[in-house]
Chains A and B, each alone.
Chain A
Amino acid sequence: MYKKNNSLLVYCIFYFLFLYIPVFLLPIFSFNDSFHMVFPLKGFTFDWYIEMWNKARLHKALWNSIKVGVITAIISTFIALFAAKAFTRYRVKYSGLSYGALLLPFIIPEIIIAVAFIVIWTSMGLKLGLIPITISHILYCTPFCLLILISRMDGFDKSLEEASMDLGENIFGTFWRVTFPLLLPGIIASLLLSFVISFDEFILAFFLSSSDQTLPIYMWSQLRFPKKLPHVLALGAIIIVATSFIVMLSYWFRNLGQSNNNRGSHI
C-alpha cells in the first residue's frame, strides 16, 4: 500500500532545500571578499576568519557563553535525571500535574520568562548578568533534558534495576552498576543538547544581561553594522558547523544500545 510516492518525495526535496538554504547561505558569504551579501560572489578570502580571531570582545563573549552553557547543561541534566527517575519508576500521585508543570518552560514564550525574571530580579535589588541568565537557561533547558532522559529510561525495563537489587546491590550500587551505564548515552545527549540550546539562546540573555555579553548578544550587536558583518558570518559559520556536529553526536549517543522499537521517540 505504501511503496512509492514520487510527488511527495519531490515535495520533501523542495522542503529540504527551503530548510537548508538559509543555513548554508551564511557560511558561503563568510568566504566572500566583500562587505555586502550580494550575489554574484566576489572572491574567496579567509580575512574574516582572521579578523574574528583578533576580536577581544568576541573572546570574552565566547567564554561567557561556554561558562553559562556548561553550568546550565550539568545542572539541568542532573535535575532532569532525578525527575525522570521519579516519573518512570514510581506511581506518583499528581504525576500528570507535576509533569505538565515541568514542561511549561518549554511552551511559555521566552519573553514572558525574561520579563518575569527582570521584574523579580530588579525588585529584589539584584544586578542583572550571567547569574540570572544561567538560572533562566536551566529553567528553559530542563524540559528538553527531561524528555530525552524519560525516553531513555523507558527504553530499559524496571526489572533490570530490580534484578540488581535482588542480586544483592543496594540503591547506590544499583544506580552505579546498572542505571547509570544504561542511561549514560542519554545523559551525554542531554548534556550536549542543553549546552547547544543555552549556547544559542538569545532572548533570555538579551533581556537579562548587563555588561557581560554572551555570544548571541555579541552577534546581535554586530549585525547592525555592515562593516562588522563579515566576521560575524565567519563566527556564525563556525557555530553552525560546531553545533551541527554536537547535535549529530548527541543523536548518535541517544540511539546507542537502544533497541529498534524505541527509536521513534525524539526530543
Chain B
Amino acid sequence: MISALQKIYVKNDQLKAYTLLSPALILIIIAMAAPMLVMIITSFNTQISMVEIDRTFTFDRYEDFFSKPIFSMLLFRSLKISFLVTVLTLLTTYPLAYYIAFYVKKNKMLWIILMTLPFWTSYLLRVFSWKVILGNKGVINSALVGSGLIDEPLGFLLYNQGAVVLTLAHAWAAFAILPLYVSLDKIDKSLLEASYDLGNSKFETFIRVTLPLSLPGIIGAILIIFIPTVGDYVTPQMVGGTDGRMLSNMIQSLFGRANNFPLGAASAVLMLSSVCIIAGIVTYITKKLTLRMS
C-alpha cells in the first residue's frame, strides 16, 4: 500500500510541486486571504460599542463613507499623491537606471548596491530626516537664513502634499531603480546599434527601441510604487500636516481613537479596490502610449 502510494508520488510532478508549495500557500490563505475576507465582511457590519460589532449585513458603512465629503476627499488625495509619486520616481530614476545599464562598464553591482542601500535603512528615520531638512528650523531654512539669503524661514517647504510627494519619491526610489535597471540591462546592445545603423538618431533610437523594450520594468515600477504608496501612513503623518493628510491616517484613527472598525474596514476596501483599478488603467495606458510612440 505504502509503496504503491510512493510510486504514485514519485511519478507525479504536480503532487511534488504542490507539496513544496503548500507552506507558502497555507501562509497566503491564513495570513492574507482569510484576514482580508473578514475585513470585507466587517465592512458590511456596524460598531455598536467599544468592543461589540453588530454582524447584520448592511451597506451603511459605504454610505457613511460617501456621505461625508472628507472621506472621498482623502481617498482622492491619496490616489493623487501616489500617482504623482509614481510619475516623479519614474522620471527621476529612469536616467539613473539608463546610465548604469548602458554607460557603467565596471562595477555595475557596486552602483546598484549604492543606489538601493538607503532603501534598506530604517524607513522611519529617513522620513524623519526629511522633516528635519524641510522644517522651519530645518537644514534648508537655517542654512538660507544663516547665509543671509532670506530673512524669514520658508514655510511652504514642510507640512503639505509637496513634502509628502518628495519624501515618498525618495523612500521608494529603489523600487523603481531595480526593475528599470533589470529591464534596460537585458536589452541586447546590438538592437540599438541596428536602429542607429538603420538611420535613427540616438534620441529616435531611445524612443523607438529602448523605451518600448524597457516597458516591463516601467510597468513593474508603476505597480510596486503606485499601489503600496497609496496606503502610506508614516510620511503624511510626519511631513504632511493637515494639507498632506491621507486616507491611511483616517483609517488609523478609525481603528484607534474613533473606534469604528467597520467604517475603517470599508475605507480600506475602497482604498485597495480603487488603487487596483487605477493601477490597471495606468498600466494599460502606459503600454499603449509607449508602443504608439515606437
Contact = CB atoms under 8 A, between A and B. Distances in A.
Complex: A in contact with B (CB within 8 Å): yes
B121 A243 contact: yes
A231 to B, nearest CB: 13
Contact of B146 (A2, A39, A138): A39
Instruction: With a 10 A CB-CB cut-off, give which of B25, B128, B232 has the most chain A CB atoms.
Output: B128
B129 A86 contact: no
Nearest to A92: B17
A21 B139 CA distance: 11
A202 B38 contact: no
A83 B98 CA distance: 33
Contacts of A22: 118, 126, 129-130, 133, 170
Interface string B241-253: 0000000100110
Contacts of B264: 115
B31 A216 contact: no
B159 interface: no
Given A12-B95, A79-B23, A25 B255 contact: no
B213 interface: no
B3 to A, nearest CB: 15
B120 A247 contact: yes
B207 interface: no
Most buried by A among B173, B232, B268: B268
A111 B268 contact: yes
A12 B265 CA distance: 42
A136 B25 CA distance: 14
B117 A244 contact: yes
B156 interface: no
Interface residues of B, number: 89
A116 B224 contact: no
B99 A240 contact: no
B194 to A, nearest CB: 11
B103 A120 contact: no
A1 B196 contact: yes
Interface in A91-134: 91-93, 95, 98, 101-102, 104-113, 115-123
Interface string B35-47: 1101100100000
Contacts of B20: 82-83, 85-86, 90
Given A139-B32, A200-B122, A203-B233, A123 B38 contact: yes
A267 interface: yes
A152 B130 CA distance: 36
Contacts of A55: none
B121 A239 contact: yes
Interface string A185-207: 00000000100110010110011
A115 B25 contact: no
Given A105-B32, A267-B178, A92 B24 contact: no
Nearest to B108: A263
Interface stretch (B59-67, B69-77, B181-189, B286-294): B181-189
B28 interface: yes
A77 to B, nearest CB: 11
Contact of B96 (A11, A117, A138, A243): A11
Interface in B8-42: 13-14, 16-18, 20-25, 27-28, 31-32, 34-36, 38-39, 42
Most buried by A among B27, B123, B142, B143: B27
B23 A244 contact: no
Given A2-B102, A2-B103, A142-B24, A116 B129 contact: no
5 contacts: A12-B99, A105-B28, A119-B35, A264-B185, A265-B182
Interface of B: 13-14, 16-18, 20-25, 27-28, 31-32, 34-36, 38-39, 42, 53, 92-93, 95-96, 98-99, 102-103, 108-109, 112-118, 120-126, 128-130, 132-133, 137-139, 142-143, 146, 170, 173, 178, 182, 185-186, 189, 192-193, 196, 202, 223-224, 227-234, 248, 251-252, 255, 261, 264-265, 268, 271-272, 275
Interface of A: 1-5, 8-9, 11-12, 15-16, 18-23, 25-26, 29, 36-40, 78-80, 82-83, 85-87, 89-93, 95, 98, 101-102, 104-113, 115-123, 135-136, 138-139, 142, 146, 193, 196-197, 200, 202-203, 206-207, 216, 219-220, 223, 236, 239-240, 243-244, 247-248, 251, 255, 263-267
